[in-house]
Amino acid sequence: MTVSRRKDTGKWGYRVKIGNEYYRKHEWDTKNEAKKAMLDFIEGMGLKNHSSDSVEISLEDAVKKFMEYSVRMEKSDWRLKALEANYKAFVIPFFTPGKILSEITHKDVESFIDSQVLRNITKNTIKHYITDINALFNWAIREDYITYNPVSKVNKKRIKPEKVIKPGFTSKDIEKCESALESEELFFFRFLKYTGMRLTEALTSKWKDVDYQNMEIVVRGTKTIESVRKVSMCKGLYENLLIHEVCNKVDCKNKDKYIFGHKDGSRILRRDKMFQKIKDKTGIKITAKDLRDYFASCIGMGTETYKPDIVTVSELLGHTNLNTTKKYLYSLKERKVKAVNILDEIEKSCHERVTEPKMNLFQSLQPLVLKGGGAGTRTPDTADMSRML
């Protein structure tokens, strides 16, 4: 069961297999129209959402198999834990464990959304739940447990997160935040600023990940396998790491220690108190995510002599999609101001070219205009102007 576009006519349509027969139709202008027509066709035929030769599977069993599949696909530990938590806490209890997967309709999914809206949680959180449900159904289609994804027929506009444009932080704001911290907290703040790491990535960093010789630090990504990367160290990070290493008396025997850990060697899980201290002392509400944004914006803005391309910024952030990187570059205020100032410079240049000859002409004719009247007084005529020009 697929939705495709014909090259000869340019029309969108569908192909549905029922038993040994294929049903095709291509007469729509958009992909969404073709997808809706396909779902209407399936409902009109009175078909159940499963193949004739497939074995029915319960929601609980489908989730187990999907999690096994996700492990084989080498999804990150972070992603696996998030999937398992969402399925166990919200999805399975709502639809019930024994619910046959093929019997779940788009109306059931919409009812699930209604139940989550009543919990008074953010639209973005509900969107994540629907994304996980959608992934489960897409896997079930590939495994021939069902023939179509009921989520595709759900109206998701009401759970679409509102676009929030953050103001971004200037270098003065960052300096003000640093003035509220000292010792280990100040170093951790600067560590986030100089590396652009996610909070969990920074907290799981170990001394063995630091390579002073090559001026690099290994970032063990927490979201995807691809997010494991090497970040080059700037001078500021290099100096701060050396100072912090000496203060913590790190040697070759304890390189496996966390850079930021408790005295007993265990990992620190959160840094809420540090960010709260900044807010209390300066009034600035900032998070680890904001420091990641600041890192991306500063790198993306570049300098007068060098400006990195977006691919380089994406690699430093550990992104697999350039569209994700673009979202981090919203606070390049200085570059945007310089860009629109080009209009002022062009207009000023044009204005000077037009007005400068007139000013020179006026200044040249001025001596001919004598004040106070008398025999020597005369008004410049066209002959004078011609000579000037």
Radius of gyration of the chain from Cα atoms?
32
At residue 362, the pLDDT reads: 46
Collect the ranges in the chain with pLDDT lower than 50: 52, 358-359, 361-362, 365, 368-375, 385-386, 388-389
Phi-psi region of 24 (alpha: psi -120 to 50; beta: other; left: phi over 0): beta
Q: Mapping DSSP to helix (H, G, I), strand (E, B) and coil, where does residue 293 land?
A: helix
* Contact (CB, 8 A) for 211 and 218: yes
At residue 35, the pLDDT reads: 80
Global pTM reads 0.55
* Contact (CB, 8 A) for 102 and 146: yes
At residue 369, the pLDDT reads: 45
How far is it, in rounded angstroms, from Cα 163 to Cα 166? Answer: 10
How many angstroms separate the first and last alpha carbons of the chain? 80
How far is it, in rounded angstroms, from Cα 5 to Cα 374? Answer: 90
In tens, the pLDDT along 48-104 reads 555 545 568 999 999 999 999 999 988 878 788 989 999 999 999 999 999 999 899
How far is it, in rounded angstroms, from Cα 70 to Cα 78? Answer: 12
At residue 385, the pLDDT reads: 45
Residues forming a β-bridge with 5: 12
Residues forming a β-bridge with 3: 14
At residue 159, the pLDDT reads: 84
How far is it, in rounded angstroms, from Cα 3 to Cα 246? Answer: 61
At residue 128, the pLDDT reads: 92
Phi, psi of 381 (to 5 degrees): -105, -175
How far is it, in rounded angstroms, from Cα 324 to Cα 303? Answer: 23
How far is it, in rounded angstroms, from Cα 68 to Cα 75? Answer: 10
Please give the helix or strand (H or E) that residue 22 lies within, else none: strand 21-28
At residue 46, the pLDDT reads: 56
Assign a CATH topology to domain 171-331: hpI Integrase; Chain A (1.10.443)
At residue 190, the pLDDT reads: 92
Q: How many residues does the chain have?
A: 389
CA separation, residue 249 to residues 200, 241, 243, 255 (Å): 24, 12, 10, 10
The dihedral sign for the CA sequence 31, 37, 38, 40: positive
User: What is the four-CA torsion angle of 224, 229, 234, 239, rounded to 10 degrees?
Assistant: 90
At residue 166, the pLDDT reads: 65
Q: Look at domain 56-164 and name its CATH class.
A: mainly alpha
At residue 255, the pLDDT reads: 74
